[in-house]
Amino acid sequence: EIVLTQSPGTLSLSPGERATLSCRASQSVSSSSLAWYQQKPGQAPRLLIYGASTRATGIPDRFSGSGSGSDFTLTISGLEPEDFAVYYCQQYGSSPYTFGGGTKVEIK
């Protein structure tokens, strides 16, 4: 099983600041099969990034994904008020299709 470790657990930032979220896998994720999801309180997760770096339909370009192998990063270039949420990475390259523990981006 591929274990995904997200850091930090919580990120306290102000609107307009840059957020950098990390997702580290216990082994290489095949074919960069890594996705990022955003979840707001009381809502279902929403797909942001797939294939490690491709933005999903309708996702603003302030969200970007990078990385390969076992190290991945989600960057939000300038936080908007609606971006404060919990972010999860997930690998879909091999079963079980594990999720990271999440990073909460909160308003400082």
Partner 1 sequence: EVQLVESGGGLVQPGRSLRLSCAASGFTFDDYAMHWVRQAPGKGLEWVSGISWNSGRVGYADSVKGRFTISRDNAKNSLYLQMNSLRVEDTALYYCAKVFGITMVGYYMDVWGKGTTVTVSS
Binding region for partner 1 (CB under 8 A) out of 16-24, 49-57, 64-72, 76-84: 49-57
Query: Any contact of residue 37 with partner 1 (CB under 8 A)?
Result: yes
Number of H helices, E strands in the chain: 0, 10
Nearest approach, Cβ of 91 to partner 1 (angstroms)? 10
Binding mask 74-103 for partner 1 (x = CB under 8 A): --------------x-x-xxxxxxxxxxx-
Nearest approach, Cβ of 69 to partner 1 (angstroms)? 16
Under 8 Å CB-to-CB from 43, ≥6 apart: which residues? none
Residue type at 68? S
Nearest approach, Cβ of 19 to partner 1 (angstroms)? 18
Rounded Cα distance between 25 and 36, Å, is 13
Nearest approach, Cβ of 10 to partner 1 (angstroms)? 13
Determine whether 98 is exposed, middle or buried from the number of CB atoms within 10 Å of its CB (0-12, 13-18, 19+): middle
3-state class (DSSP) for residue 103: strand
By the criterion CB under 8 A, which residues form the site for partner 1? 1, 30-31, 33, 35, 37, 39, 43-47, 50-51, 56, 88, 90, 92-102
